[in-house]
Structures are given as C-alpha cells and as structure tokens.
C-alpha cells in the first residue's frame, strides 16, 4: 500500500529491544523497574525521530504518541512494553512497535496530517507481574480499576503500588484522570502474539479476534464424613473426594456441549491423610466463554452436576464465587475489516476468541469500537523465553495490521461524515 512501511524494520527493532532488555532467562521489562524505564527511554527516542509527533505520559503512566490529523476523531493503536519476569521478546512490544511503524507510514503518506488523528499508546503495567493485578494502565483509563483494591496491593518486598507509582512520578489517587485520553477515541486496534496454539494447529499466520472470554471462577467444596480407612465398609462411606472426582470428566462434556473451556485447577482434601476417607474436598473450577449466555449455561450445568454427584455420594456441596468477568465481544465491523486485511495479506483468515485478557478488552469496556489481530505463536507458548514467531509471519502481521489501520481510518472518516 505504501513504499514507506518497512515491516523488516519492526523485526529489527524487536531484536534491538531484546538485546537491550533480555538476559539468558528472557525479557526483563517488568513495569516500574529500571529496565522498564530504560525501555521507555528507548521507545521515546524512536518516537522522537518521527517528525511532528506529540509524546506525553498520562496520569496513570501510560505513554501516548499522537499524530494530529484533520479530524480530532482518533484511531488508537495499543500495546505494552512491559513483560513478565523471564518473558518473551514479542508479547506486548510487537503491538507497540508495529504501531510506531504505522505512524511512520501515515506521516509519510499524508504529509504529516492524516484524515483522522492517530495515537499509539504504551499501557503501563499490563502484565501485573509485580503487584499481581494485570491491566493497570488500561483499567485506570477505562475507569474499571478498583481503587480500594489497588491501593492495598503490595509487591514481594512489601512495597505498595501507590509508593511504586510515586517513584515514577505518578500520583495514585489521580490515576483515573487519564480517562480523558479516550475522549475522541473512535476505534482501538491491538496486534498481539496469540499465546495459544490455535493458529499454529491450523497452519495460519494471522487471525481476527472476536473478543475476550468471560470468566466464571468458583471454589466447590464437597463435604462428607471422615472415617477409618480400615473399618469403614465401602457401602457406608460419605466420600467427598469420590463426588468431587466425578466433576473432572464431567467438565469435558460441559465444555464440548457449550463450546467454551473449563478447568479444574486445584484440589485439596481434608483430613488429607492416608488412613481416612476424605471429609472435605475443595476443587476450583474456571470456566470461560465468549458468549455470556453460554457461559451462564456452562456454570449452571456444572452446578447441576455437582448437586447430582453429591446426592449420589450422600455428601453435601457448597459453591463460592472467586471471580467473574463478563465476555467482551469486539466490534463486528472492525472484525470484518480485520478479516479483510488478513485475507489481502496472506489469502486466508480465521476468526478466534482470546482466552487471555488484554488491554483491548478494557478499551472496549469503555465503549470504544475495538478489535485485535493475532499472529501465530510457534510453540503456542508465551510468558516464557521460548516464545517465538517466524520472522516472515512477523513481517506479514505488520503489513496486515497496517492495512487494518488504514481501513479503520477510512471507516472512522466515513462514520463521522455520516453523523
Ligand atoms: Zn501482552
């Protein structure tokens, strides 16, 4: 589309960044650390080399680079430069650096002034590696950040989040003021490495993301009766583990029937000794689906199964909700544009949901039309130094993502003309 887009430059910059911020164990760009600050300084230098960009940090420490256009209506492109400890070389920074390359192309193509304003944002602390709470910068921006919970977060050394933010010049009590950055946001785009094996298994480089899964997370406790393992006949037992264990194959059937995913991730027993029938068995169930009604049906089905197994085993069952978040479907017209951009670039596209949460879900929750594009992950693995994507796929994703940015820019223009 334009001679000035250079996907190879993005790959070279990713390698440059890896050289600066990774060690033998992987990327070390944990938010609010020295390495992260060095990463930001490196990014600012890249942005500074592009004429006419306005760069600033908002009230929550998110970094914005703005190329003013004919209209104040803004196309947003987001990512995060922070990583988990021992992370990969692509998660988060690929998104930002692809955005930077798109800014270069737009500036050249439109003589410094595209039809709409275009902004690249580097969200602060997407990973939540230090304080155990992800999507800090984007949830402050969308307004969903729970201030009371965040105020009490501490890292392993007992340093609180407000104190860590103060170190980088951010006043915790004012972080939500960054919500004003979304004032003229007309669309939000995010490119990301898939973090799963779906595109790999289909042998496809790119996919259009339908939205992020909703999550129902519960602890389920079956309660029976402790009894001696030698003297209690099999027909007289109230075995909490027997009922809980039946849940394990059951959830595979539930996921298959409703099309989501279910995981029993932990199981603890009491008294937990070799000579006693299990009195209490606590398991955790994590269920995810892109459709809120289907997610509710999966949870309902799990509850019914739990009641049935408890009845059969003469034990009781109790449920405790640990966490819940609603699914966040992306914008249907932007999904179609994403699909078209991928097809124009490599012939075939695939639509898939995102299991992990992303900053994009927060922006979508704030009411901004949003879509994400995924690029294939070689091992289906991220948050690990083995995270990787073939270089030709990285170049394809920058090209396809740039096409999506151009289509979205035209889409914003057409919409504002129509209204
Ligand atoms: Zn990420």
Give, for all 419 residues of the chain, the pLDDT tens digit.
Answer: 445 899 999 999 999 999 999 999 999 999 999 999 999 999 999 999 999 999 999 999 999 999 999 999 999 999 999 999 999 999 999 999 999 999 999 999 999 999 999 999 999 999 999 898 899 999 999 999 999 999 999 999 999 999 999 999 999 999 999 999 999 999 999 999 999 999 999 999 999 999 999 999 999 999 999 999 999 999 999 999 999 999 999 999 999 999 999 999 999 999 999 999 999 999 999 999 999 999 999 999 999 999 999 999 999 999 999 989 999 999 999 999 999 999 999 999 999 999 988 999 999 999 999 999 999 999 888 889 999 999 999 999 999 999 999 999 999 999 988 87
Q: What is the pLDDT of residue 419?
A: 76
- From ligand 1's centre to the CA of 400, what distance in Å? 19
- From ligand 1's centre to the CA of 108, what distance in Å? 29
- From ligand 1's centre to the CA of 295, what distance in Å? 24
Instruction: Calculate Rg over the CA atoms of the chain.
Output: 24
- From ligand 1's centre to the CA of 191, what distance in Å? 9
- From ligand 1's centre to the CA of 251, what distance in Å? 28
Whole-number Å distance between alpha carbons of 105 and 35? 29
- From ligand 1's centre to the CA of 418, what distance in Å? 35
Whole-number Å distance between alpha carbons of 230 and 212? 50
- From ligand 1's centre to the CA of 28, what distance in Å? 14
Q: What is the pLDDT of residue 196?
A: 93
Q: pTM, whole model, 2 decimals?
A: 0.91
Q: What is the pLDDT of residue 3?
A: 54
- From ligand 1's centre to the CA of 265, what distance in Å? 23
- From ligand 1's centre to the CA of 321, what distance in Å? 26
What tokens does 172 get? 């915790």
Q: What is the pLDDT of residue 2?
A: 46
Whole-number Å distance between alpha carbons of 4 and 294? 45
- From ligand 1's centre to the CA of 168, what distance in Å? 22
- From ligand 1's centre to the CA of 80, what distance in Å? 7
- From ligand 1's centre to the CA of 92, what distance in Å? 4
- From ligand 1's centre to the CA of 79, what distance in Å? 7
- From ligand 1's centre to the CA of 93, what distance in Å? 8
**Residue 298 near residue 285 (C-beta atoms within 8 A):** no
- From ligand 1's centre to the CA of 380, what distance in Å? 14
Buried-exposed string 255-292: b where 16+ CB fall within 10 A, e elsewhere: beebebbbebeeeebeeeeeebbbbbbbbbbbbbbbbe
- From ligand 1's centre to the CA of 34, what distance in Å? 20
- From ligand 1's centre to the CA of 300, what distance in Å? 31
- From ligand 1's centre to the CA of 95, what distance in Å? 9
- From ligand 1's centre to the CA of 349, what distance in Å? 21
- From ligand 1's centre to the CA of 126, what distance in Å? 7
Residue 285 CA: distances (Å) to CA of 81, 220, 247: 32, 7, 9
- The torsion angles phi and psi of 271, rounded to 5 degrees, stand at -70, -10
Whole-number Å distance between alpha carbons of 203 and 198? 9
Whole-number Å distance between alpha carbons of 399 and 102? 9
- From ligand 1's centre to the CA of 356, what distance in Å? 9
Neighbours of ion ligand 1 (CB under 5 A): 91-92
**Residue 89 near residue 394 (C-beta atoms within 8 A):** no
- From ligand 1's centre to the CA of 190, what distance in Å? 10
Task: Please spell the DSSP secondary structure of 80-129, one letter per residue.
Answer: -----TTB-SSTTHHHHHHHHHHHHHHHHHTTT--SEEEEEEE-S-SS-T
- From ligand 1's centre to the CA of 21, what distance in Å? 16
- From ligand 1's centre to the CA of 184, what distance in Å? 25
- From ligand 1's centre to the CA of 384, what distance in Å? 12
């Amino acid at each position: 589309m334009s001679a000035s887009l250079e996907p190879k430059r993005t790959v070279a910059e990713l390698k440059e960044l890896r050289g600066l911020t990774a060690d033998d164990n992987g990327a070390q760009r944990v938010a609010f650390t020295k390495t992260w600050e060095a990463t930001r300084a490196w990014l600012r230098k890249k942005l500074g080399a592009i004429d006419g960009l306005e760069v600033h940090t908002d009230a929550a420490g998110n970094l914005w680079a703005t190329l003013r256009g004919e209209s104040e209506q803004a196309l947003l492109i987001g990512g995060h430069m922070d990583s988990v400890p021992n992370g990969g070389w692509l998660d988060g920074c690929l998104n930002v650096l692809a955005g930077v390359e798109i800014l270069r192309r737009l500036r050249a193509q439109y003589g410094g002034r595209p039809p709409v304003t275009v902004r690249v944002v580097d969200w602060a602390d997407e990973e939540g590696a230090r304080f155990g709470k992800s999507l800090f910068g984007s949830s402050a921006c969308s307004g969903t950040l729970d201030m009371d919970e965040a105020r009490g977060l501490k890292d392993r050394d007992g340093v609180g989040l407000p104190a860590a933010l103060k170190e980088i010049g951010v006043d915790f009590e004012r972080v939500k003021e960054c919500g004003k950055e979304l004032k003229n946001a007309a669309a939000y785009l995010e490119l990301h490495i898939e973090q799963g094996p779906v595109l790999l298994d289909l042998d496809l480089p790119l996919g259009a993301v339908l939205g992020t899964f909703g999550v129902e997370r519960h602890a389920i406790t079956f309660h029976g009766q402790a009894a001696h393992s030698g003297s209690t006949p099999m027909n007289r037992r109230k075995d909490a583990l027997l009922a809980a264990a039946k849940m394990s194959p059951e959830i595979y059937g539930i996921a298959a029937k409703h099309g989501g995913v279910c995981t029993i991730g932990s199981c603890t027993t009491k008294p937990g000794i070799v000579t006693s029938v299990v009195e209490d068995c606590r398991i955790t169930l994590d269920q995810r689906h892109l459709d809120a009604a289907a997610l509710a049906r999966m949870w309902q089905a799990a509850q019914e199964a739990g009641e049935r197994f408890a009845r059969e085993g003469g034990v009781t069952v109790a449920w405790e909700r640990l966490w819940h978040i609603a699914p966040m479907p992306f914008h249907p017209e932007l999904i179609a544009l994403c699909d078209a951009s991928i097809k124009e670039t490599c012939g075939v596209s695939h639509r898939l949901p995102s299991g992990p949460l992303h900053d994009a879900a927060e922006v979508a929750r704030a009411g901004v039309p949003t879509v994400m594009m995924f690029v294939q992950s070689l091992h289906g693995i991220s948050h690990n130094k083995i995270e990787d994507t073939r270089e030709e796929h990285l170049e394809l994703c920058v090209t396809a993502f740039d096409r999506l940015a151009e289509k979205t820019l035209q889409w914003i223009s057409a919409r504002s003309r129509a209204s």
